[in-house]
Amino acid sequence: MSSFGKYTHAIVRGVPATVGQREREEHEKEEEEKQVSALDSAKLHRQLGVYTGILRQKLGLQVIELPASEEPGLPHSLCVEDIVVVQGDTALITRPGDPSRRREVETVKNVLEELKLRVFEVTDEKAILDGSDVFFTGREFFVGISKWTNHKGAEYVADAFKDFTVSIVHIPEPHHLKSFCSMGGPSTIIIGNSEAARRAIKAMEQLTDYQYDKLSVPDDAAANCIYARIGNKSNTLVHRTADEFPESSKAFKKLPDYTLIPASCTEVAKLGASLSSCSILINKKFEY
């Protein structure tokens, strides 16, 4: 736990030219009264630029920027968190539930090997695993069994990270586990308020041997944050902006002596992704 929230590196990926293509096509089919806004590619670039700046300047991380995928049919490749689970010196390359996304693996794997992490891979063709379904609390792992992740995928998490308990939580479609929860500190779980979120936290409480504090927020999407420790004592939380979720933003102020950093995520959210989806956080110092 002494290293929980401490990071030295972050991996991000550029915005592919095809980003939002599927979403725009679906938007064109929507009826006007549903008021569904299409993805704004220019705005997405700006938001990810700010996000990368936060990682580099506010959190002090060495940011490795992978080029945007030039392959057609990979519009979600900027959501790099789905491709790998990293804890300490171990990285588990996943097998994404969307078959097309498996073409993203090689580029990320090469970088992890250059960083000299111990790299394991999900190789069973019957296994599927998305990184956004893997929730690490600093003490244990919870794996969401979802549209994107199955039991065989969860078994790979248990095999790769043998020092930690791994428990499974069933998640209804179309959610990932981390779409409505994250760590807000070494012992605090931030959780959304939907029925799916409430069921998930109840299941986690029944499965764990640890006592966690809870910070409930009204909006599921706002519950996905990035917690980081800068130096020995400085607690930092990167969270969705007050413009996006005003009531949830107020809840973060209950965290004592935290540096709160808002980051807009409206366009990534239109891809069905979350704030943490856009980076892979690594502690290269391997402190234990």
Interval 260-273: pLDDT, tens:
999 999 999 999 99
Band of pLDDT at residue 24, cut at 50, 70 and 90: very low
Per-residue confidence (pLDDT) for residue 167, from 0 to 100 = 98
What lies within 8 Å, CB to CB, of 214 at 6+ separation is 188, 189, 190, 191, 201
Mean pLDDT in residue range 133-143: 98
Q: How many CB atoms lie under 10 A from the CB of residue 165? A: 14
| Sequence letter at residue 280 | I
Mean pLDDT in residue range 2-31: 73
pTM for the model stands at 0.93
Q: Is the pLDDT of residue 22 over 70?
A: no
Per-residue confidence (pLDDT) for residue 18, from 0 to 100 = 81
Per-residue confidence (pLDDT) for residue 31, from 0 to 100 = 34
Band of pLDDT at residue 21, cut at 50, 70 and 90: low
Q: What confidence tens digit (pLDDT) does each residue in 239-263 have? A: 999 999 999 999 999 998 999 999 9
Mean pLDDT in residue range 19-33: 46
Band of pLDDT at residue 70, cut at 50, 70 and 90: confident
Mean pLDDT of the chain: 92
Per-residue confidence (pLDDT) for residue 287, from 0 to 100 = 43
What 8-state DSSP symbol labels residue 95? B
Q: Is the pLDDT of residue 19 over 90?
A: no
Collapsed DSSP state (helix, strand, coil) of residue 181: strand
Per-residue confidence (pLDDT) for residue 72, from 0 to 100 = 78
CA separation for the pair 144, 270 (Å, rounded): 21
Per-residue confidence (pLDDT) for residue 20, from 0 to 100 = 57
Q: What confidence tens digit (pLDDT) does each residue in 197-237 have? A: 999 999 999 999 999 999 999 999 999 999 999 987 789 99
What 8-state DSSP symbol labels residue 129? B
Strands of 280-282's sheet in order across: 62-66, 9-13, 280-282
Per DSSP (E only), the strands in the chain are 9-13, 62-66, 84-87, 90-93, 118-121, 134-136, 140-145, 165-170, 181-185, 188-191, 213-216, 226-230, 234-239, 258-262, 280-282
Gyration radius of the chain over CA positions: 18
Per-residue confidence (pLDDT) for residue 77, from 0 to 100 = 93
Domains and CATH numbers, the chain: 9-17+41-282 (3.75.10.10)
Percentage of residues in the chain having pLDDT higher than 70: 92
Q: Is the pLDDT of residue 30 over 50?
A: no
Q: N- to C-terminal Cα distance for the chain?
A: 7
- The dihedral of CA 92, 95, 98, 100: what is its sign? positive
What lies within 8 Å, CB to CB, of 11 at 6+ separation is 63, 64, 66, 80, 108, 111, 279, 280, 282
Per-residue confidence (pLDDT) for residue 233, from 0 to 100 = 72
Contact 63, 10 (CB under 8 A): yes
Q: Is the pLDDT of residue 26 over 60?
A: no
| Sequence letter at residue 77 | S
In the numeric block, which tokens belong to residue 208? Answer: 């764990």
Q: Is the pLDDT of residue 3 over 60?
A: yes
